[in-house]
Amino acid sequence: MADNSQFDHAVQAVFSVCASPDVASAAMAACPEVQGSVFAGEFNDYFSGERRPQISQTLKAATGCVALVDCDRDPEQALQTMERLRALMLRNLSVVAYATKVDATYLLQAMRVGCNEFLTKPASTDALEEALNRFRAAHISEAGGQPNSGRVISFFGAKGGAGTTTLAVHLANNLVRRHRKRTLLIDHHHELGHISLYLGLKGGQYHFDELIRNSDRLDGNLLNGFVTRHTGGLEVLASPDVVAADYKSSPEEINSVFAFLRTQYDFIVVDSSMDYKDIVPTMQQSSDEVYLVSTPDVASLRDLARRVEHLRLTDPASEKLRIIINRSTSDDAVTAEQIEAAVRFPVWMAIPNNYADLVRAINAGEPIPPQHRSAFAQQINKWADKILSVMAAPLDQPTTHKKGFTLFRSKRDKKVA
């Protein structure tokens, strides 16, 4: 590989591995169009333990590197090359793979060994230019040292069928559409989650477990390849739409992933489950707010009381805990005061029942919009407003467990009214 000293201080150095003429041409045409990017040369052989590349000063000096790996000549060696690239310690390395045809299995293998983006051949200059611009923007953002300011909000159902997914989807959508906050919605179910269905999205190839597996090399480029984007601007990390095995993640991996996600988003909303007993404590510790959702029926409230009792054994968890009563109506047999007496914890908010509109929204694959006049939409608006107001409060004013917005009315309130 030629050492082009004129490029020693390139912001983003691009190089190819076993590239066909169309890939090389696309690279040489795209680089001049992206500020600070140069095409630094090509390697004619795949990398392996026996064939170690000679890294030029251009690549060593660059603040970001992009490898274009053509997989057509030998797909297996191409995978080995992508894995070897990660061991070269190049700064801010992004890997783009090219192939004439690719199946889902090979695509997943490529992502697992370090591929950030997969493009099809014949190579398009415009597609590569778009990718280079994204990589460059991510490098600049990371170099700026963004603070860990993002807020993690996790949802758990006191029992199955409480409507946790519905609430997580609508709150996340509201934060994006009304408040213009960059928000990631995570479907934390290792199989057959419903968030993609509720948003009318095709099932994602990658999911939260995949992100956890790659926690040691997680960066903005890798994350970009994992998320799916809804038309409204919400970013989604979907659950597999097939039956799949659960990945046994460690607390260290989970903490590392959430620490990184905080640097990328204003809000990370997680639709999780109490079924993941091994990691529920870690998920809650990594969260800023923990919403425990129940419905106002005896069976659900019994489970809610047991969940709260367990969570209150850990003081930090109880400080974050917010009780949500979903599908509330004015005819509920159990009042807010009775629920609070039973669970010995305040009800933070009640969400009105809106079954018909929600079924239509789910079937259409589009959440109820924030401007909808229903009581449900208005209460979600208040919920999002409450979260933003808490964030905007001065740090020297501690938050307390005051009763939040609620549709419940006590007997005393009714007499006053």
Helix axes 21-30, 125-143, angle to 10 degrees: 50
pLDDT of residue 365: 87
Instruction: Extract the tokens encoding 106.
Output: 């090979």
DSSP tag of 33: G
The CA-based angle 90-255-81, given to 5 degrees, is 30
pLDDT of residue 381: 94
Closest C-alpha among 32, 52, 35 to residue 43: 52
Task: Name the maximum alpha-carbon separation found in the chain.
Answer: 86
User: pTM of the predicted model, to two decimals?
Assistant: 0.62
Residue 356 φ/ψ, nearest 5 degrees: -60, -45
Instruction: Extract the tokens encoding 174.
Output: 């509201």
When pLDDT is averaged across residues 255-283 and rounded to a whole number, the result is 86
The answer to whether 339 and 324 are in contact (CB under 8 A) is no
pLDDT of residue 209: 83
Residue 378 φ/ψ, nearest 5 degrees: -65, -35
The answer to whether 184 and 192 are in contact (CB under 8 A) is no
When pLDDT is cut at 50, 70 and 90, the band that residue 146 belongs to is very low
In order, the DSSP letters of 357-411 are HHHHHHHHT-PPPTT--SHHHHHHHHHHHHHHHHHHS-TTS-------S-S---H
When pLDDT is cut at 50, 70 and 90, the band that residue 141 belongs to is low
The answer to whether 283 and 154 are in contact (CB under 8 A) is yes
211 burial via Cβ count (<10 Å: 0-12, 13-18, 19+): buried
| 5-143 is classed CATH 3.40.50.2300 | yes
The answer to whether 76 and 97 are in contact (CB under 8 A) is no
pLDDT of residue 143: 53
Range from 118-122, 279-283, 346-350 carrying the lowest mean pLDDT: 279-283
pLDDT of residue 184: 96
Range from 69-73, 144-148, 379-383 carrying the lowest mean pLDDT: 144-148
For the chain, the domains span 5-143, 151-416
pLDDT tens-place string over residues 148-205: 478 999 999 998 889 999 999 999 999 998 888 999 999 988 777 888 888 988 766 6
pLDDT of residue 100: 95
β-pair type (235-237, 228-229): antiparallel
Q: Looking up tokens 């260290």, which residue turns up?
A: 252
When pLDDT is averaged across residues 113-129 and rounded to a whole number, the result is 91
CB atoms within 10 A of CB 378: 15
When pLDDT is cut at 50, 70 and 90, the band that residue 319 belongs to is confident
Ranked by mean pLDDT, the top range of 122-126, 175-179, 341-345 is 122-126
Scanning 199-324, the segments in alpha helix (DSSP H) are 208-213, 220-226, 251-264, 280-285, 298-311, 315-320
When pLDDT is averaged across residues 281-293 and rounded to a whole number, the result is 89
Q: Cα(230)–Cα(173) distance, rounded to whole angstroms?
A: 9
Q: Cα(137)–Cα(65) distance, rounded to whole angstroms?
A: 13
The answer to whether 19 and 25 are in contact (CB under 8 A) is no
Q: Cα(199)–Cα(158) distance, rounded to whole angstroms?
A: 24
Q: Cα(191)–Cα(242) distance, rounded to whole angstroms?
A: 6
When pLDDT is averaged across residues 208-230 and rounded to a whole number, the result is 83
* CATH architecture of the domain formed by 151-416: 3-Layer(aba) Sandwich (3.40)
Range from 117-131, 251-265, 385-399 carrying the lowest mean pLDDT: 385-399
β-pair type (347-352, 183-187): unpaired
User: Which tops the pLDDT comparison, 179 or 402?
Assistant: 179
- Does the structure show a pLDDT above 80 at 97? yes
Instruction: Extract the tokens encoding 325.
Output: 């009563």
Name residues whose C-beta falls within 8 Å of residue 397's C-beta, 6 or more positions apart in sequence: none
The length of the chain in residues reads 417
Q: Are the folds of 5-143 and 151-416 the same? A: yes
